[in-house]
Amino acid sequence: QLEAANERLRRQDAERTRFITLVTHELRAPINTIHTCMELALTSYASPEKIREILERVKSRTAELSELIGDLLRLARAREEASLKEQVELVQPDDVLQNVVQLMKAEADSKDLFLSVDIQDGVSHVRASPDRLKLVWTNLLSNAIKYTEPGGIISVTLRETAGELVGTVRDTGIGIAPEDQQRIFEEFYRAENARSVSPMVTGVGLAIVQRIVENWGGRICIESELGLGTKFTFALPRADC
């Protein structure tokens, strides 16, 4: 029993060290860029147009840094919830989904994407946090919108099966290669084709989604074909089961 406890502590230390290393690496790049740009702006005799270009780059990297810090805070919270007893309540999942769709419909419309939503009538409650469930749907929908070309289709469903609520987000986007699918839920991991579409995304969103869903006793999986689209499916236990 003592040996098992020590092994668990060793794994936790290794995971903590890996996390710190990854965070340091991700933070270093935008900070170095900002520092270099500011040095160039302060020490050069560049034209006002060039100075403006430098400051625009600083602004862009600052926004990237702010997004990364926000993702890190959300990831840290999800990690904490995995080790502590998270505060949950009875949540009506269809209300949460409809709210997220309303918020994100304009973004889909701006890319000329057809967004369809199919919610089964009378779905049961789940034990969850409304804000965290909203974050799950928001991350999945945001990814679908981001990686689907104009004119594409995104379909969202919410169904109830025996003992579970099942949500899906399917798109006709760029898809994910088989070798990337095996790592897609890793913290900071990004597929090469995703980097080319959106280079500033942190690669933390899906790791957060997985931790939230699994913290509530659920599961999430992916089906994808490169160039044809992706489908994420997550399932949560019904509150009365």
Concatenate the DSSP letters of all residues of 106-145 into one string: HHHHHTT-EEEEEE-TTPPPEEE-HHHHHHHHHHHHHHHH
Element (H, E) at 154: strand 153-161
pLDDT of residue 15: 59
pLDDT of residue 27: 73
Count of Cβ atoms closer than 10 Å to residue 15 Cβ: 12
- Which neighbouring-strand residues pair with 229? 225
Residue 33's nearest CA partner among 199, 192, 203 is 199
Answer yes or no: are the C-beta atoms of 129 and 164 closer than 8 Å: no
CA–CA separation, 202 and 25 (whole Å): 12
- Which neighbouring-strand residues pair with 177? none
Q: Please write down the long-range contacts of 175-178, taking CB distance under 8 Å and 24 or more positions apart.
A: 175/224, 175/225, 175/226, 175/227, 175/228, 175/229, 175/230, 176/222, 176/224, 176/226, 176/230, 177/226, 178/226
pLDDT of residue 6: 63
Residue 232's nearest CA partner among 163, 185, 197 is 185
CA–CA separation, 149 and 146 (whole Å): 8
pLDDT in tens, the chain (241 residues): 667 656 666 765 665 666 666 667 667 777 888 888 888 888 777 788 888 888 888 887 787 777 777 777 777 776 666 555 667 889 999 999 999 999 999 999 999 999 999 999 999 999 998 988 999 999 999 999 999 999 999 999 999 998 899 999 999 999 999 988 988 888 777 777 777 776 555 677 888 899 899 989 999 999 999 999 999 999 999 987 5
- Sole residue written with tokens 């996390």: 19
SS3 170: strand
